């Protein structure tokens, strides 16, 4: 704990609320410039592009969105070459974004409670959702795709970030079909002779829910597709994979769509956590012929994101960020006024599944408030040693992510690089050093909102020495609102 950290640390608090709120302002402008305000040096071996997605607009006209997840997707690209970096950001030109910007008012309802102007009667029975394309961005099969949770992806030009349009993945998706924002890349797929493949899913949730799995080769062609029905409503944000399974956590929630249908609430505000329920761990075999879905019961929690999963002898291990409950999104609350003490903090849990005996054991790997895990891409679906996670500065309690935590899962050793008191982090991404062999030989890239300068930085940390001086800090000319997910591509 440094001296400056302490000035704010009256109740173990390492940030000022107004500083944190500064990162929840829109960035309506679109930029394109080379970054020349840099501390340290960009490694010349770091070559490729970091793509990030997240809500870029937090109001439409003069009306704020009800929740940041309802904000229009804005993609940033930070391209690294020869020790230099270039920044670019553009909004995804979705139908909703174009229409609302033209009208300068809200024309769509958002899943997280944003309503059209005009009260409930203007919203009732309007079940059309805005495809906001704000959750993730990936480069696969020579396409850059902006992803949202509940609708088709949008294809962007990787060089200019211009929106090419909705993409149906070579005829695979029908209008309105979902393609989740959480694909996984199997680095070495046994079914494909060791070639990498992209695994993604879509869910149709209802009284029973249908999960469809898609797998694509590096050219973007469909390799495998299969659908499975599971009992009950399933709100599935993320998936973990192993060589043989796609793994989902069906959180214990109840869904009552009536307030949504009658125009009173957003769909996500109709999801209520059921503390008496159990989490259902759903194991779907990746081999298309195998219809045998297994469902195991695990302790109650709410999981958005998984870190990783792997198989070992007759066990399957899954590491995930678990919350004690899913806090109900409240209709009259302002997300900038969030009381961190009243909502649960994420913790890293490990579940040990014994498919044979159908038993699940769990333990807490990290109790510090954390979210957005990342690992070496070669270890996805395999036993791994290092995980990097966005983490709070304080060891206990719920707080904004102000650092990057590196956990050595073999030794239990942990290191934290902190941006506190005035820096606020986001999803860290591990990028391997070309030619490196050690699992932590590479960099961790993270976008940090620096309230002291009201701007964002791209911070490059040495993954082997996370808590040392950053390798470089690239200062942007503006802030970037807190985002969701992204990826790095060296193509
Ligand atoms: O009607 C059903 C219910 C429902 C809620 C089906 C459905 C698919 C329409 C649906 C929609 C769900 C959606 C659109 C979920 C989107 C989630 C999203 C955009 C992001 C989730 C982020 C999760 C976390 C944990 C973020 C953490 C952020 C921080 C720690 C701070 O920056
Ligand atoms: Fe996510």
CA atoms within 13 A on the CB side of 398: 13
Is the shortest distance between the CB of 20 and ligand 1 below 6 Å? no
Q: How far apart are CA 240 and CA 306, in angstroms?
A: 6
What integer pLDDT is reported at residue 9 of this predicted model? Answer: 53
Q: Does the pLDDT value for residue 2 go beyond 50?
A: no
Q: Which helix (H) or strand (E) element contains residue 12? A: none
Q: Give yes or no for a contact between 457 and 78, defined as CB atoms under 8 angstroms apart.
A: no
**DSSP assignment string, 255-267:** E--HHHHTTSS-G
Residue nearest to atom 24 of ligand 1 (CA): 304
Q: How confident is the model at residue 11 (pLDDT cuts 50, 70, 90)?
A: low
Distance of CA 115 to the CA centre of its chain: 24
Is the shortest distance between the CB of 371 and ligand 1 below 6 Å? yes
Q: How far is ligand 2, taken at its centre, from the CA of residue 237, in Å?
A: 6
pLDDT tens digits, one per residue of 294-328: 999 999 999 999 999 999 999 999 999 999 998 77
Q: How far apart are CA 350 and CA 322, in angstroms?
A: 9
Q: For residue 133, is it left (φ>0), alpha (ψ between -120 and 50) or beta?
A: left
Tokens 């102007």 belong to residue: 117
Q: Does the pLDDT value for residue 329 go beyond 80?
A: no
Q: Does the pLDDT value for residue 105 go beyond 60?
A: yes
Is the shortest distance between the CB of 69 and ligand 1 below 6 Å? yes
Ligand 1 atom closest to 150 (CA) = 8
> How confident is the prediction for the chain on average, in pLDDT?
95
What integer pLDDT is reported at residue 433 of this predicted model? Answer: 98
Is the shortest distance between the CB of 205 and ligand 1 below 6 Å? yes
Tokens 């979902």 belong to residue: 178
Q: What is the mean pLDDT of residues 448-453?
A: 98
Tokens 């192993």 belong to residue: 242
Is the shortest distance between the CB of 267 and ligand 1 below 6 Å? yes
Question: Which ligand sits nearest to residue 135's alpha carbon?
Answer: 1
What integer pLDDT is reported at residue 10 of this predicted model? Answer: 55
Q: What is the share, in percent, of the chain residues with pLDDT greater than 70?
A: 98
Residue nearest to atom 27 of ligand 1 (CA): 371
Question: Which ligand sits nearest to residue 371's alpha carbon?
Answer: 1
What integer pLDDT is reported at residue 259 of this predicted model? Answer: 93
DSSP state of 469: -
Is the shortest distance between the CB of 237 and ligand 1 below 6 Å? yes
Q: How far is ligand 2, taken at its centre, from the CA of residue 484, in Å?
A: 7
H helices then E strands: how many in the chain? 5, 35
What integer pLDDT is reported at residue 355 of this predicted model? Answer: 80
Q: How far is ligand 2, taken at its centre, from the CA of residue 305, in Å?
A: 6
Q: How confident is the model at residue 5 (pLDDT cuts 50, 70, 90)?
A: very low
Q: Does the pLDDT value for residue 356 go beyond 70?
A: yes
Q: How far is ligand 2, taken at its centre, from the CA of residue 35, in Å?
A: 28
Helix (H, G, I), strand (E, B) or coil at 270: helix
What integer pLDDT is reported at residue 8 of this predicted model? Answer: 56
Q: Does the pLDDT value for residue 41 go beyond 70?
A: yes
Q: How far is ligand 2, taken at its centre, from the CA of residue 306, in Å?
A: 9
Q: Does the pLDDT value for residue 333 go beyond 90?
A: no
Q: Give yes or no for a contact between 458 and 431, defined as CB atoms under 8 angstroms apart.
A: no
Q: How far is ligand 2, taken at its centre, from the CA of residue 371, in Å?
A: 10
Q: How far is ligand 1, taken at its centre, from the CA of residue 51, in Å?
A: 20
Residue nearest to atom 8 of ligand 1 (CA): 150
Q: How confident is the model at residue 6 (pLDDT cuts 50, 70, 90)?
A: very low
Distance of CA 371 to the CA centre of its chain: 9
pLDDT tens digits, one per residue of 137-175: 999 999 999 999 989 999 999 999 999 999 999 999 999
Phi then psi for residue 450, to 5 deg, are -105, 100
Q: What is the mean pLDDT of residues 19-37?
A: 98
Q: Does the pLDDT value for residue 57 go beyond 70?
A: yes
Residue nearest to atom 32 of ligand 1 (CA): 482
Q: Give yes or no for a contact between 295 and 280, defined as CB atoms under 8 angstroms apart.
A: yes
Q: How far is ligand 2, taken at its centre, from the CA of residue 8, in Å?
A: 30
Is the shortest distance between the CB of 321 and ligand 1 below 6 Å? no
What integer pLDDT is reported at residue 445 of this predicted model? Answer: 98
Ligand 1 atom closest to 129 (CA) = 9
Residue nearest to atom 18 of ligand 1 (CA): 69
Q: What is the mean pLDDT of residues 376-401?
A: 97
Is the shortest distance between the CB of 485 and ligand 1 below 6 Å? no
Distance of CA 164 to the CA centre of its chain: 23
Q: Does the pLDDT value for residue 7 go beyond 70?
A: no
What integer pLDDT is reported at residue 389 of this predicted model? Answer: 98
Sort 42 into a burial class: Cβ within 10 Å, 0-12 / 13-18 / 19+.
Answer: buried
Question: Which ligand sits nearest to residue 424's alpha carbon?
Answer: 1
Residues present in the chain in total: 491
What integer pLDDT is reported at residue 324 of this predicted model? Answer: 94
Question: Which ligand sits nearest to residue 109's alpha carbon?
Answer: 1
Helix (H, G, I), strand (E, B) or coil at 295: strand
Q: How confident is the model at residue 1 (pLDDT cuts 50, 70, 90)?
A: very low
Q: Does the pLDDT value for residue 396 go beyond 50?
A: yes
Q: Give yes or no for a contact between 118 and 470, defined as CB atoms under 8 angstroms apart.
A: no
């Amino acid at each position: 704990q440094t001296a400056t950290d302490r000035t704010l640390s009256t109740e173990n608090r390492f940030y000022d609320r107004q500083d944190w709120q500064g990162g929840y302002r829109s960035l309506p402008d679109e930029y394109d410039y080379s970054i020349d305000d840099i501390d340290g040096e960009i490694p010349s071996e770091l070559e490729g592009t970091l793509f990030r997605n997240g809500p870029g607009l937090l109001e439409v006209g003069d009306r704020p969105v009800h929740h940041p997840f309802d904000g229009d997707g804005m993609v940033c690209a930070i391209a690294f070459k020869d020790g230099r970096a270039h920044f670019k950001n553009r909004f995804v030109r979705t139908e909703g974004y174009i229409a609302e910007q033209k009208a300068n008012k809200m024309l769509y309802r958002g899943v997280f409670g944003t309503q059209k102007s005009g009260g409930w009667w203007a919203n009732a029975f309007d079940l059309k959702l805005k495809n906001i394309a704000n959750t993730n961005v990936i480069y696969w099969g020579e396409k850059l795709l902006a992803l949202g949770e509940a609708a088709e992806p949008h294809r962007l030009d990787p060089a200019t970030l211009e929106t090419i349009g909705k993409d149906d993945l070579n005829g695979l998706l029908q209008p309105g079909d979902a393609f989740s924002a959480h694909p996984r890349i199997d680095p070495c797929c046994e079914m494909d002779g060791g070639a990498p493949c992209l695994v993604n899913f879509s869910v149709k949730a209802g009284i029973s829910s249908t999960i469809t799995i898609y797998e694509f080769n590096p050219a973007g062609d469909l390799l495998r597709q299969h659908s499975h029905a599971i009992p009950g409503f399933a709100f599935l944000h993320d998936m973990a994979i192993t060589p043989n399974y796609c793994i989902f956590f069906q959180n214990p929630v109840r869904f009552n769509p009536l307030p949504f249908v009658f125009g009173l609430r957003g769909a996500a505000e109709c999801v209520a956590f059921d503390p008496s329920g159990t989490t259902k761990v759903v194991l779907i075999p990746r081999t298309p012929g195998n219809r045998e879905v297994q469902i195991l019961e695990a302790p109650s929690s709410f999981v958005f994101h998984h870190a990783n999963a792997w198989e070992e002898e007759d066990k399957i291990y899954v590491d995930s960020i678990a919350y004690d409950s899913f806090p109900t999104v409240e209709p009259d609350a302002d997300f900038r006024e969030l009381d961190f003490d009243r909502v649960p903090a994420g913790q890293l849990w490990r579940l040990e599944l014994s498919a044979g005996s159908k038993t699940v054991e769990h333990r807490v790997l990290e109790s510090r408030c954390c979210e957005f895990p990342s690992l070496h891409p070669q270890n996805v679906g395999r036993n791994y040693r290092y995980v990097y996670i966005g983490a709070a500065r304080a060891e206990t309690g719920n707080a904004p992510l102000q650092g990057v935590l590196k956990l050595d899962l073999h030794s239990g050793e942990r290191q934290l690089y902190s941006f506190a008191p005035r820096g606020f982090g986001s999803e860290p991404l591990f990028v391997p050093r070309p030619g490196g062999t050690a699992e932590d030989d590479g960099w961790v890239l993270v976008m940090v909102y620096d309230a002291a300068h009201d701007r964002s930085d791209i911070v490059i940390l040495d993954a082997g020495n996370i808590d040392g001086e950053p390798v470089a800090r690239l200062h942007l000319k503006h802030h970037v609102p807190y985002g969701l997910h992204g990826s790095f591509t060296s193509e």
